[in-house]
Amino acid sequence: MNNVNQQQLDLLWHTLGLSAENRHRRTVSRNYFLTSPGCSDALQLDELVTAGLMSRGKPPAFCPQGEVVYRATSEGEHFAVASLPPLPKRTRYDEFLDADSGMEFHEWLGIEQPMIEYRGKSFGLSDEGRLISKEPACRMHSSRATGEWCKTKKDAKASYKAALAASKARRAEAA
């Protein structure tokens, strides 16, 4: 079966409802591919018919009768499943998704997510007595550290990370 190119293999996987990337779509869930004769997919699928991996048939009654239905043969199904690449190593996030715990990811990891505190736009009087607005500010804080008030969220995050690192260093010295 060396004569099957990647596009044909992708069409065969699609016909069977398989996915090389999605770990939840590694078993056959369907077996059909409806297309118009003469289109690029049909030409590729016809080559799979010639190779004995697919068969060609008439469409169901509710579809236009000019269409063509392709189905994988048992040999094609075995070839498609065997051609799936190995899955990448499972990540902690994959485990979190499978756990279906009802928690947020940071809670599942046991990480305390910092809170963002905002000081909204305020108004005051200038020295000349004109009404002026003061820029909004924000900071991030948790039970472990508190960052400085900053004009942007990006700066507040950097300040919080610096305060967190300093707090961690103080705890390490004390231990």
Q: How far apart are CA 100 and CA 94, in angstroms?
A: 11
Q: What is the pLDDT of residue 2?
A: 60
Over residues 89-99, the pLDDT tens digits come to 888 988 898 88
94 Cβ contact partners less than 8 Å away, ≥ 6 residues apart: 23
Q: Over the range 47-66, which residues count as b (16 or more CB within 10 Å of their CB) and which as e?
A: bbbebebbeeeeeeeeeeee
Task: Check pLDDT > 90 for residue 160.
Answer: yes
Is the pLDDT reported for residue 67 higher than 80?
yes
Q: Residue 60 has what pLDDT?
A: 87
SS3 169: helix
Q: Domain-by-domain residue ranges, the chain?
A: 6-86, 112-174
In this prediction, residue 77 carries a pLDDT of 95
As a whole number, mean pLDDT of residues 69-78 equals 95
Q: Which two tokens stand for residue 6?
A: 């990647």
Q: How far apart are CA 19 and CA 35, in angstroms?
A: 20
Q: How confident is the model at residue 88 (pLDDT cuts 50, 70, 90)?
A: confident
Task: Provide CB contacts within 8 A for 118, sequence distance 6+.
Answer: 136, 137, 138
Of 48-57, 71-80, 101-110, minimum mean pLDDT range: 101-110
| pLDDT confidence band for 74 (50 / 70 / 90) | very high
CATH topology of domain 6-86: Arc Repressor Mutant, subunit A (1.10.10)
Per residue in 121-155, pLDDT (tens digit) is 666 666 777 766 667 789 999 988 999 998 888 99
Q: What is the pTM of this model?
A: 0.57
pLDDT range class, residue 21, cuts 50, 70, 90: confident
Could you say which DSSP state residue 51 is in? T
